[in-house]
Amino acid sequence: MDARALDLKPEYFDAAICRLALMLVPERHKALAAIHRSLKPGARFAAVVLSSAEKLPHIGEPLAIARRYAGLPPAPFEDPGLFALGDPAALRAAIERAGFREVTVEVMASTRQFSSLATTMKHIQDSIPEMKPFLEKMSDAAREEAWKEIETAMRRFERSDGMIIPTERLVAVGTK
């Protein structure tokens, strides 16, 4: 179901959770308003979103490197997009605008672990769709150089037991 047109029974649910998707929803105010309507009075909504690009180096750095090799300037990340709600104030404001009260936002440090540099690189290649348009604009040689630089950047997270990359998520909770 399109998150912008959620057809949910009013005041029906005891809780709602959105995990790592809210920042990607276009017109998220519509989705949040529908979620708010669907919750019983006093029910809670929780959302987990990605923090800022700087706090997710296995995503932010490859994107920045790809942009540079594609001849594009550093740019603010789009909304909707991976880092659109990475600022706790932006996340809080989005949830409060939908009518939720007692909104709290917690910053949660975590790590992302991979068995090897090769699995890290495979993850980056397969799971960051925002990179594709940048990579398509490059020559084969530039694309190869970009991947080499990304690999070099990721090497700093190598440990004897694999790759351990510090990351951060934001967890928000609001009450109807």
The answer to whether 52 and 60 have CB atoms below 8 angstroms apart is yes
**What's the average model confidence in pLDDT over 25-44?**
97
**What's the average model confidence in pLDDT over 135-150?**
95
Q: What is the pLDDT of residues 12-21, one digit of tens each?
A: 999 999 999 9
Annotated domain spans of the chain? 3-175
**What's the average model confidence in pLDDT over 126-134?**
89
For residue 155, name the pLDDT band (cuts at 50, 70, 90).
very high
**What's the average model confidence in pLDDT over 59-71?**
94
Please report, as a single letter, which amino acid is at residue 89. Answer: A
Question: What does residue 148 show for φ and ψ, rounded to 5 degrees?
Answer: -65, -45
Residue 67 CA neighbour count, 13 Å, CB half: 14
Q: What is the pLDDT of residues 112-127, one digit of tens each?
A: 999 999 999 999 999 9
For residue 108, name the pLDDT band (cuts at 50, 70, 90).
very high
The answer to whether 126 and 118 have CB atoms below 8 angstroms apart is no
Question: What does residue 92 show for φ and ψ, rounded to 5 degrees?
Answer: -60, -45
| Residue 4 in this model has a pLDDT that exceeds 90 | no
The whole-chain average pLDDT of the chain stands at 95
pLDDT at residue 33 in the model: 97
The CATH fold assigned to 3-175 is Rossmann fold (3.40.50)
Hey, what long-range contacts does 141-146 have (CB within 8 A, 24 or more apart)?
142/69, 142/70, 143/69, 145/69, 146/65, 146/66, 146/68, 146/69
**What's the average model confidence in pLDDT over 31-47?**
98
**What's the average model confidence in pLDDT over 75-82?**
82
- Which two three-digit tokens encode residue 151? 């690999």
